[in-house]
Amino acid sequence: KRQQVGIEALAIAVPRRYVDLAELARARGVDPAKYTSGLGAREMAVYDPGEDTVALAASAVSRLLRTHQVDASRIGMLVVGTETGVDHSKPVASHVQGLLKLPRTMRVYDTQHACYGGTAGLMAAAEWIASGAAAGRSAVVVCSDIARYGLNTAGEPTQGAGAVALLVSEQPDLLALDVGLNGSCSMDVYDFWRPLGRREAVVDGHYSIQCYLEALSGAYRGWRERALAHEVVRWGSTTPGEQLARILYHVPFCKMARKAHTQLRLCDLEDAPNAANTTAEAREELAKSSASYEAQVASSLSLNARVGNVYTASLYLALAGLLHAESGTLAGQRLGLLSYGSGCASEFFSGVVGAQAAQRMARTDVEAVMARRERVSVEEYERLMKLPGDGPEVLAPAPGEFRLAEIRDHKRHYVEGA
């Protein structure tokens, strides 16, 4: 039997405030249906400068270690995937190590390639363990980001913030990864970027959607080729994509997952051995199937619709939402996951939900974390957005959570809630 490697447990952290997107639409003079139905969003996390990438990452790791009683001496690697780091040199991971008093005997670093950075970290950790180099140790991979486009921009309703911490080990209670099947596709494009010194991303929005779909096609076809060769999927009365119980996508806004799913289905329908029997129009119509989207994708989007874009963490927030809702029925079934980072890089990979997933998720207080949030008005959201990045408000963090307190002598100081 092959050694198993994958995600043993997870935890999330989100800012304490959110804004309602129908209300934001009205404030912007836009039909609320554009945000709620056109983009598929309901609420958007609103952060203040105290809830920076480090604070969110440390809060997620703290919750992971606490709720799953992780023995920190087991951890040999700590990786933070982020595109909104706080220093050009010192990694977010180093702050997290210090704040959580994690052992010195670890590899500690950040990974960056836009929203793909977290997946780069997850694969480094999984392959480190699979190679045997970890010698029984586990890794913690954290995806933490703040998505910021600015007030009154087209990207405004697709902002958000949060973190997801993953414990990666030889005991993949949540998801055993199919190591070696991953398909990658990367291209040098300017679809979304953030020049040094800018807080707001620069984005060519419609082009970024095209890049995402093109990269998805390449990554999915790469995975499918290997999955067919290993007889994990096959061409038959259903397509290879239809043989995955659920497919999770990078979610910059929920509607993007629907576009992505249509594209993935189109790849299968175009490449099927019997494709010549159908017309291009018929294939396009089939690819758009609502039934397929509802069955394979929709149930993973509940948290994303309430938090917004979390860049590196978006795909893993979808995983948290899916397993929170369905881990009992999905045990033993295979999921497909598509990671996309602008610039661009994408990877399609798969894994099998573990038999212990429901027990693990029962200990993962996703609902409690979401329920603690408070709704703020559009005026309050705008006030918080205008605060300088180095000027956090003086607020006490909740127990077990962290906040940036001040920046003194170019050093960041954090406080932990008691």
Residues that bind ligand CAA (CB under 6 A): 31, 33-34, 37-39, 115, 154-155, 158, 192, 203, 205-206, 208-209, 212, 250, 252-253, 255-256, 309, 311, 340, 342
Round to whole Å and give the CA distance between 32 and 20: 10
Strands (E), 256-371: 334-341, 345-353
Nearer to ligand CAA, 310 or 330 (CB): 310
Round to whole Å and give the CA distance between 288 and 280: 13
- Min separation Cβ 154 and ligand CAA, Å: 4
Q: Is the peptide bond before 344 cis (omega within 30 degrees of 0)?
A: yes
* Structure tokens, 133: 């180099």
User: Is 83 known to be catalytic?
Assistant: yes
Nearer to ligand CAA, 228 or 298 (CB): 298
Nearer to ligand CAA, 25 or 245 (CB): 25
Question: Taking CA 76 as the corner, what is the angle to CA 70 and CA 80, rounded to the nearest 5 degrees?
Answer: 85
- Min separation Cβ 113 and ligand CAA, Å: 11
Mapping DSSP onto H, E and C, the string for 57-126 reads HHHHHHHHHHHCCCCHHHEEEEEEECCCCCCCCCCHHHHHHHHCCCCCCCEEEEECECECHHHHHHHHHH
Nearer to ligand CAA, 122 or 140 (CB): 122
The alpha carbon of residue 207 and the mean position of all alpha carbons in its chain are separated, in whole angstroms, by 21
Round to whole Å and give the CA distance between 81 and 70: 21
- Min separation Cβ 137 and ligand CAA, Å: 32
Nearer to ligand CAA, 222 or 252 (CB): 252
Nearer to ligand CAA, 113 or 403 (CB): 113
The alpha carbon of residue 405 and the mean position of all alpha carbons in its chain are separated, in whole angstroms, by 27
- Min separation Cβ 408 and ligand CAA, Å: 33
- The secondary structure of 8-69 as a DSSP string is EEEEEE--SEEEEHHHHHHHTT--HHIIIIIS---EEEE--TTS-HHHHHHHHHHHHHHHTT
User: Is 250 known to be catalytic?
Assistant: yes
Which residue's CB comes closest to ligand CAA? 38
* Structure tokens, 410: 């170019």
For residue 358, is it left (φ>0), alpha (ψ between -120 and 50) or beta? Answer: alpha
Q: Which residue has the tokens 């679809």?
A: 191
- Min separation Cβ 191 and ligand CAA, Å: 6
- Min separation Cβ 258 and ligand CAA, Å: 8
- Min separation Cβ 306 and ligand CAA, Å: 17
Per annotation, catalytic residue among 113, 250, 261, 324: 250
- Min separation Cβ 172 and ligand CAA, Å: 26
Q: Are 132 and 70 in contact (CB under 8 A)?
A: no
Per annotation, catalytic residue among 113, 115, 143, 344: 115
Q: Which residues contact 285 (CB under 8 A, 6 or more apart)?
A: none
Per annotation, catalytic residue among 43, 51, 83, 401: 83
User: Is 115 known to be catalytic?
Assistant: yes
Nearer to ligand CAA, 311 or 349 (CB): 311
Share in percent of the chain as helix, strand, coil (round to 5): 40, 25, 35
Nearer to ligand CAA, 33 or 368 (CB): 33
Round to whole Å and give the CA distance between 40 and 27: 18
Round to whole Å and give the CA distance between 337 and 182: 10
**Which residues are known catalytic residues?**
83, 115, 250
